[in-house]
């Protein structure tokens, strides 16, 4: 039993190392950044979410399969290690979340909505830095935006809305071609 436990620990450590490394994190992050803009916090999910979710599942599966093959871990050992208590203690929830999201659409959607919000906030900060104006809420703790900042927010929202519409039109066009 001790040898088996050591085996599970080795598998968990190997996988945890992979999930923290660039071979996993870069493709996952790039995918999320490229696809998150269509996700919003509305209750109802759109058809485009399903397609993106399936792409994500395929990406996760391919990355994991390639790594497991490379290090000589079979599917059974991976499942055993991944469901062991060690997996939860050796890897952070944030790292595990990217794997679990491939099995749980609600978790995937939540992760993508969160990434969309982060990207929007990043865009707002860049706009503000380029214009030399930081809103009071970021400097003095108040929530008052200047007229310029409110205008920029309107422009940003409009750009995001148009980008989302264009993406959905493009997806619809692809669907009708298929």
> What CATH code is carried by the domain that includes residue 36?
1.20.1520.10
Q: Are 64 and 82 in contact (CB under 8 A)?
A: no
Q: Are 18 and 32 found together in one domain? A: yes
Q: Are 133 and 149 in contact (CB under 8 A)?
A: yes
Q: What is the pLDDT, as a whole number, of residue 107? A: 93
For the ranges 7-11, 35-39, 52-56, 96-100, the one whose mean pLDDT is highest: 52-56
Q: Are 2 and 87 found together in one domain? A: yes
Q: What is the pLDDT, as a whole number, of residue 13? A: 86
Phi and psi of 60, rounded to 5°? Answer: -60, -45
- Total domains in the chain come to 2
Q: Are 53 and 132 found together in one domain? A: yes
Angle at 27 between CA 95 and CA 178, to 5 degrees: 120
Q: Are 24 and 52 found together in one domain? A: yes
Q: What is the pLDDT, as a whole number, of residue 91? A: 65
Mean pLDDT of 52-75: 94
Mean pLDDT of 11-16: 86
For residue 16, the Cα-to-chain-centroid distance in whole angstroms is: 18
What's the CA gap between 160 and 38, in Å, rounded? 9
Q: What is the pLDDT, as a whole number, of residue 152? A: 78
Range of the domain at 8: 1-136
Q: Are 69 and 114 found together in one domain? A: yes
Q: Are 63 and 94 found together in one domain? A: yes
Q: pLDDT-derived band of residue 95, with 50, 70 and 90 as boundaries?
A: confident
Q: Are 19 and 99 found together in one domain? A: yes
C-alpha torsion sign, points 96, 124, 153, 51: negative
Number of neighbours of residue 166 by Cβ within 10 angstroms: 10
Rounded to 10 degrees, the C-alpha dihedral 51/70/85/59 comes to -10
pTM of this structure: 0.66
3-state class of 135 per DSSP? coil
**pLDDT tens digits, one per residue of 114-143:** 999 988 888 878 877 777 776 555 555 545
């Amino acid at each position: 039993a001790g040898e088996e436990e050591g085996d599970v620990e080795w598998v968990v450590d190997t996988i945890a190392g992979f999930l923290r490394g660039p071979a996993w994190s870069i493709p996952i992050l790039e995918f999320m950044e490229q696809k998150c803009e269509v996700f919003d916090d509305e209750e109802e999910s759109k058809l485009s979410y399903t397609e993106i979710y399936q792409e994500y599942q395929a990406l996760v599966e391919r990355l994991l399969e390639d790594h497991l093959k490379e290090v000589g871990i079979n599917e059974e050992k991976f499942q055993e290690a991944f469901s062991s208590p060690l997996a939860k203690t050796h890897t952070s929830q944030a790292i595990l979340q990217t794997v679990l999201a491939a099995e749980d659409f609600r978790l995937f959607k939540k992760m993508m909505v969160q990434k969309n919000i982060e990207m929007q906030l990043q865009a707002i900060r860049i706009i503000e830095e380029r214009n030399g104006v930081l809103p009071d809420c970021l400097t003095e703790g108040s929530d008052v935006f200047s007229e310029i900042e409110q205008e920029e927010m309107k422009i940003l929202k409009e750009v995001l809305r148009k980008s989302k519409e264009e993406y959905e039109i493009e997806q619809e066009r692809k669907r009708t071609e298929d």
